[in-house]
């Protein structure tokens, strides 16, 4: 069944949702789908991951796993990446921030329920900042974890803190605690949220000097934002188990 009637009589669209539980990019789309869970339906399909294989003689431990992508993902996304949404006609939508805006646009939501503001200027500001936090608060996450040189790790962490401070300063421009005023969740919030949740991994893999400081006054608005969004029911439902994520 590809759709069902809402209480208003409108048809609720339902998608096959090609995702991966651990992927922060897919997490963005999951957040949008859960935010509009009463308006948009989806069938989760785990389509990308790491699978343990039989150990061959002479292989290192890091060769015990191989990366796999489902045939459906390869068929419907030229990059074979999650998230990918497939409608009942077999048409696909992909790229995480595109998926967020797409889900919001077809949801039929209005006013404060929208993830893209109905105010054109605010919608433009959100799109600018969704891209800005993607570059400055999400990308450095990988530099901290992937780079092997300690100084390069520290440089990535400092770049991340600079991005967070800029985001925090922008948060102060409205009544908050979200990016838009009056606690309206937006695509900007969803752009950074999956990474903000995952920053906790720094302490385990890089030590206490890589912990985001909660007592830094230049991050006060960010800290308030973090505490607020992580407690929202539609967000809580999407958060991967921390221990499972660390093991992954």
Q: Which pLDDT band holds residue 204 (cuts at 50, 70, 90)?
A: very high
How many whole angstroms separate alpha carbon 157 and alpha carbon 154? 5
Q: Which stretches within the chain are classed as H helix?
A: 24-35, 71-76, 96-106, 120-133, 139-146, 150-171, 187-198, 201-206, 220-229, 233-236, 242-247
Between helices 24-35 and 96-106, what is the axis angle to 10°?
10
Q: Is 64 exposed, middle or buried (0-12, 13-18, 19+ CB in 10 A)?
A: middle
Decide if pLDDT at 180 tops 70: yes
Q: What does the pLDDT average to over 131-151?
A: 98
Question: Could you tell me the two tokens for 120?
Answer: 């054109």
48-91 per-position pLDDT tens digit: 987 665 656 665 555 545 578 999 999 999 999 999 999 999 99
Phi-psi map region of 80: left, alpha, beta (phi>0 left; psi -120 to 50 alpha): left
Does the pLDDT of residue 10 top 90, yes or no? no
Taking alpha carbons only, the member of 19, 18, 23 closest to residue 245 is: 23
Confidence at residue 5, expressed as pLDDT on a 0 to 100 scale: 36
Q: What is the mean pLDDT of residues 21-47?
A: 97
Terminal-to-terminal C-alpha distance of the chain: 34
Q: Who contacts 150 (Cβ-Cβ below 8 Å, separation ≥6)?
A: none
**Whole-structure pTM over 0.85, yes or no?**
yes
The span from the CA of 131 to the CA of 137, in Å, is 10
Please say if the pLDDT value at position 1 is more than 50: no
């Amino acid at each position: 069944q590809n759709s069902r009637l809402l209480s208003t009589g409108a048809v609720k669209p339902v998608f096959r949702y090609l995702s991966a539980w651990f992927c922060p990019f897919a997490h963005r789309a999951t957040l949008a789908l859960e935010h509009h869970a009463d308006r948009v339906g989806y069938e989760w399909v785990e389509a990308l991951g790491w699978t343990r294989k039989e150990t061959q003689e002479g292989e290192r431990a890091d060769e015990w796993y191989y990366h796999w992508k489902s045939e459906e993902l390869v068929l419907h996304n030229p990059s074979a990446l999650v998230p990918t949404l497939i409608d009942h006609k077999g048409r696909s939508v992909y790229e995480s921030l595109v998926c967020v805006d797409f889900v919001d646009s077809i949801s039929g939501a209005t006013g404060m329920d929208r993830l893209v503001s109905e105010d054109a200027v605010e919608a433009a500001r959100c799109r600018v900042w969704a891209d800005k936090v993607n570059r400055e608060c999400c990308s450095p996450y990988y530099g901290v974890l992937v780079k092997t040189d300690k100084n390069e790790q520290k440089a990535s962490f400092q770049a991340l803190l600079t991005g967070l401070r800029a985001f925090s300063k922008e948060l102060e421009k409205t009544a908050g605690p979200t990016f838009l005023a009056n606690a309206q969740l937006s695509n900007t919030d969803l752009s950074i949220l999956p990474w903000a949740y995952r920053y906790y991994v720094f302490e385990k893999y890089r030590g206490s000097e890589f912990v985001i400081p909660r007592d830094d006054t230049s991050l006060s608005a960010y800290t308030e934002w973090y505490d607020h969004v992580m407690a929202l029911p539609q967000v809580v439902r999407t958060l991967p188990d921390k221990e499972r994520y660390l093991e992954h």
